[in-house]
A and B are shown apart, each in its own frame.
Chain A
Amino acid sequence: MKIIKSSMVGTLESSDIQIRVEQRDELGIKIQLKSSVEKQFGKQIRKVIIETLESLGIDSCLVIAIDKGALDCTIKARVQCAAYRAVGDAEKINWEVIN
């Protein structure tokens, strides 16, 4: 899937994560993470974001994440949704990769 526009999902409430996905000209996934638990879970949060995007077949985008202590399942759901919104066209979504 290809990111063609900016999207935003989630809130800044406690236990949630706000994910913004944007187009990027270069290849690769770039993450700007701000988290209240960055020191403890920063690595894990980045890992979940990258794995989720890769499983959707996205290889280039900018992710701006503002985390307020979200669990992995929340992060995954938010990232999936943000990616789908940023694809623009529902036809292009490959639903089969969701598990």
Chain B
Amino acid sequence: MDYDFNGKRIFLDDMLERKKLEIFLNIQGIKLDKNLDYTVGIYKANELIATGSFFKNTLRCLAVKSEYQGMGALNTVVSNLMNEQYKRGFTHIFLYTKCNYIRLFNDLGFYEVARVEDLLEFMENKSNDITNYSLELAKTSIKAGRVASIVINANPFTLGHQHLIEEASNENDVVHVFVVSEEASVIPFSVRYELVRRGTTHLKNIVLHKTGDYIISNATFPSYFIKDEENVVVVHAKLDLEVYKKYIVPALGITSRYVGEEPYCSVTKKYNEVMKGSLEKDGIICKTIPRLSINGKAISASSVRQYIREDKVKEIKGLVPETTYDYFISKEAEGIIKKIKNSKNRH
């Protein structure tokens, strides 16, 4: 048997190449992920026999044609992807896979972070790195009876977020606030984090964190091997909560999690439902706080962005804390306002 495999980059902007790849993946039972930065194809003569892609620091859509499995084609794919990742400056690399392939990736130097039943395995390329993350986190732990946690994206920080944090702050000894650090939103993390910080300085029992690499948003969650859309939300929520319960809760001694009620978005609603069930099973209180309303309308970050998009920055005054408002009327915000205006995306 001839083992001469050639790796070649596949450009997904080329519709013909894209179509070919889609057909190839469909035969292997997976879909082409909607977020991909780089794709490689492994060819034998001119036949595509294996492929792999990545988005930011997560490897995706890896597949080997069934006749060629067990010949090391996956090693070629992963080697190629890892090299490209390092070139781009990503050294902490993740992947998601079906549970029956765990051993395969173990041999390639990937280790388990968390698992969702028999559906999904989340792996990273360093053994025990998440334990280190957990230990780092534990350094900020404050021993107290009632320790609450909140995870927010704050895109941007509104009175609604502030209200949620204030409620938690009143009812608990310590509140750990995690700001999603993944860059999947129009407003960059540094700004979102800073606005949360400025907007919570009046509360004394708050500890701010960034979520780091282990919590990813729904927008970039790879769903290519999960059959129906509904399931994607559930699996994503379960994975998030596995990581949360396994590493974050024990590190900080968390006793409750606060979330804002979700009146609009069905995806978030479903996520919150799964979360409530999963947390309560493990004895963590999950408290849903009704959204803060102004003039009968619940405040949401998306409506704030909508006003900004329509060039009505003045209108957001009643919806956001003064600190956020001050930021958006300052010169500093010009670039971001421009970006919000140009984005049609929900996020």
A: which residues have CB within 8 A of B?
A: 6-8, 10-14, 18, 20, 22, 32, 34, 36, 64, 66, 68
Contacts and interface: CB of A to CB of B under 8 A. Distances in A.
B108 interface: yes
Interface in B71-125: 72, 75-76, 78-79, 82-83, 86, 91, 107-109, 125
Given A8-B86, A68-B75, 4 more contacts: A8-B83, A12-B78, A13-B79, A18-B82
Contacts of A18: 79, 82, 109
A12 B79 contact: yes
A34 B107 contact: yes
Contacts of A32: 126-127
Contacts of B127: 32
Nearest to B75: A12
For the complex of A and B, the 8 pairs showing the least CB-CB separation, nearest first, are A11-B79, A12-B75, A66-B109, A6-B91, A8-B86, A12-B79, A12-B108, A13-B75
Contacts of A11: 75-76, 79, 83
A19 B107 CA distance: 14
A8 B72 CA distance: 20
Given A8-B82, A64-B109, A14 B72 contact: yes
A16 to B, nearest CB: 8
Contacts of B82: 8, 12, 18
A6 to B, nearest CB: 4
Interface residues of B, number: 15
Interface of B: 72, 75-76, 78-79, 82-83, 86, 91, 107-109, 125-127
Contacts of A12: 75-76, 78-79, 82, 108-109
B195 to A, nearest CB: 32
B109 A34 contact: yes
A51 B310 CA distance: 64
A34 B86 CA distance: 20
Given A13-B79, A14-B72, A32-B127, A7 B109 contact: no
Given A7-B86, A32-B127, A34-B107, A13 B76 contact: yes
Contacts of A7: 86
Contacts of A34: 107, 109
Contacts of B109: 12, 18, 34, 64, 66
A14 B3 CA distance: 11
A13 B109 CA distance: 13
24 contacts: A6-B86, A6-B91, A7-B86, A8-B91, A11-B75, A12-B75, A12-B76, A12-B79, A12-B82, A12-B109, A13-B76, A13-B79, A14-B72, A14-B75, A18-B82, A18-B109, A20-B91, A32-B127, A34-B107, A36-B107, A64-B125, A66-B108, A66-B109, A68-B75
B82 to A, nearest CB: 6
B20 to A, nearest CB: 25
A64 B126 contact: yes
A20 B126 CA distance: 10
Nearest to B82: A8
A77 B126 CA distance: 23
Contacts of A64: 109, 125-126
Contacts of A68: 75
Contacts of A8: 82-83, 86, 91
Nearest to B71: A14
A64 B75 CA distance: 17
Contacts of A66: 108-109
Nearest to A10: B79
